[in-house]
Amino acid sequence: MLACIQWLRRHERSCEFVVISPKEGRLAGALTSLGIEVIPRLLVGTEATREQIEDELVRAVQFSKSDLLHANSLAMGRLTGRIARRLAIPTTAHLRDILKLSRAAISDLNQNQRLVAVSHATRTHHVAQGLDLDKVVVVHNGIDLTQFHPRQSTGWLHQELQLPRSARLIATIGQIGLRKGQDVLAAAAGDIVREVPDVYFLLIGERSSTKAESVEFEQSILRSFESQQLAQRLHRLGYRDDVLNVMPEIDLIVHPANQEPYGRVLLEAAACGVPVVATDVGGTAEIIVDGATGRLVPPRDPVSLADAVTKLLANKVQLQSMRLAARERAMREFDISRSAEQLLHQWRMVQCRP
């Protein structure tokens, strides 16, 4: 959404943006750095009642004097749906998750004038649960192709990790959690190392959940590497705000997700010409063309994952072909201008309705 806002501010003089968000954190900092007005949402994380939160949002929207209210997540879409009838402007919401919805959630979301799914898989999933077919449209996420593009490796990451320049780097990038399936890559690591002895693994991302199952999931990844005597092959990079610079240093990205509406990291990899092996779940097949721009494998299948990774790393001709094909597809399908223009079209459509 930030990328869309930046593009629209540069290219559409008719668009002005005000963002209602928590007054602290990475989002607020990014918005401030871009010169975008932020109306602080004060009741986030408090013991406020649902009615108090709704009242606060109504006041914030009225204060902003906006012409349209867009919710950037399914959870916020429920909230905008609940207050839609109290506002004199249309409300829209993004669907960025594939998950089971309650009847109450479906009812709330359906009160918005438009629901924007990030993939056909996401739309199909939610319409099957009861979201209004006529309200749900697909707008694929995009990426700034002038920012994300193929570049030569400089070897800086090898130096940072104190690895030989000949070491091959496999990265998985994303929030550490059950949905992202990093444990599948951990289970496949032994088979991969046996076939590609100079390979090392990068775990990029953090665990945000404090639930016991999430903590245990993270620990299980570490134990899996340790039990295979591969602890020294795993490098935890944590949260990185320099993924743009990390991409050229990576030989292969593995995305072993169990569920993925439409992964941004896959768009970034395609734009940078970094080969990908990913699980065929959710909207991933709408990004990766199997055998042409990457490899798709079944979810929760470490044997298939290891086989795809080792065969791809052994085939330099195919790797180079995929790098070129991925970038070409990104230029045709994933440019941020395309996403921003389609999103703006949907906003204009609901504003034109009687």
What dihedral angle (degrees, nearest 10) is formed by the CA atoms of 172, 173, 174, 176? 50
Q: Where residue 41 falls among pLDDT bands split at 50, 70, 90?
A: confident
Q: Are 121 and 286 in contact (CB under 8 A)?
A: yes
Judged against a pLDDT cut of 60, whether residue 354 lies above it is answered with no
CA–CA gap between residue 105 and residue 120 (Å, rounded): 20
Using one digit for the tens of pLDDT, what is the confidence trace for 123-167? Answer: 999 999 999 999 999 999 999 999 999 999 999 999 999 999 999
**What pLDDT shows up at residue 353?**
58
Using one digit for the tens of pLDDT, what is the confidence trace for 208-244? Answer: 999 999 999 999 999 999 999 999 999 999 999 899 9
Q: What are phi and psi of 108, to 5 degrees?
A: -60, -50
DSSP, collapsed to helix, strand or coil, labels residue 266 as: helix
Q: Are 30 and 2 in contact (CB under 8 A)?
A: yes
**What pLDDT shows up at residue 269?**
97
Quick one: average pLDDT of 193-214? 95
Which among 196, 262, 83 is positioned nearest to 278, based on CA atoms?
A: 262
Which among 267, 281, 276 is positioned nearest to 318, based on CA atoms?
A: 276
Could you tell me what percent of the chain has a pLDDT over 90? 86
Distances (CA, A) of 13 to 36, 82, 300: 15, 31, 47
Instruction: Detail the DSSP E strand segments found in 73-232.
Output: 91-95, 114-117, 136-138, 168-173, 199-204
Which among 237, 233, 251 is positioned nearest to 314, based on CA atoms?
A: 251
* 353 or 30, greater pLDDT: 30
DSSP readout, 49-67? -HHHHHHHHHHHHHHHT-S
Using one digit for the tens of pLDDT, what is the confidence trace for 10-31? Answer: 998 888 999 998 877 888 888 8
For the chain, helix, strand, coil in percent to 5 are 50, 15, 35
Q: Is 155 left (phi over 0), alpha (psi -120 to 50) or beta?
A: left
Q: At 213, which amino acid appears? A: E
Judged against a pLDDT cut of 90, whether residue 206 lies above it is answered with yes
**What pLDDT shows up at residue 28?**
82
**What pLDDT shows up at residue 110?**
98
**What pLDDT shows up at residue 32?**
86
Taken in order of first residue, the domains within the chain and their CATH numbers are: 2-142+335-352 (3.40.50.2000), 156-333 (3.40.50.2000)
**What mean pLDDT value characterizes the chain?**
94
CA–CA gap between residue 346 and residue 93 (Å, rounded): 11
Using one digit for the tens of pLDDT, what is the confidence trace for 105-117? Answer: 999 999 999 999 9
**What distance lies between CA 299 and its chain's CA centroid?**
18
Q: Where residue 46 falls among pLDDT bands split at 50, 70, 90?
A: low
CA–CA gap between residue 315 and residue 346 (Å, rounded): 44
Quick one: average pLDDT of 36-49? 78
DSSP bridge partners of 69: 91
Q: Are 281 and 299 in contact (CB under 8 A)?
A: yes
* 32 or 249, greater pLDDT: 249
Judged against a pLDDT cut of 70, whether residue 44 lies above it is answered with no
Quick one: average pLDDT of 79-105? 96
**What pLDDT shows up at residue 87?**
96
Judged against a pLDDT cut of 70, whether residue 192 lies above it is answered with yes
- Count other C-beta atoms under 10 Å from residue 26's C-beta: 10
Using one digit for the tens of pLDDT, what is the confidence trace for 260-300? Answer: 999 999 999 999 999 999 999 999 999 999 999 999 999 99
**What pLDDT shows up at residue 8?**
93
Counting every residue written for the chain, the total comes to 354
**What pLDDT shows up at residue 352?**
74
Judged against a pLDDT cut of 70, whether residue 188 lies above it is answered with yes
Quick one: average pLDDT of 96-104? 96
**What pLDDT shows up at residue 45?**
63
DSSP, collapsed to helix, strand or coil, labels residue 270 as: helix
Beta-strand relationship, 234-238 and 199-204: parallel
Q: At 232, which amino acid appears? A: Q
Q: Are 282 and 119 in contact (CB under 8 A)?
A: yes
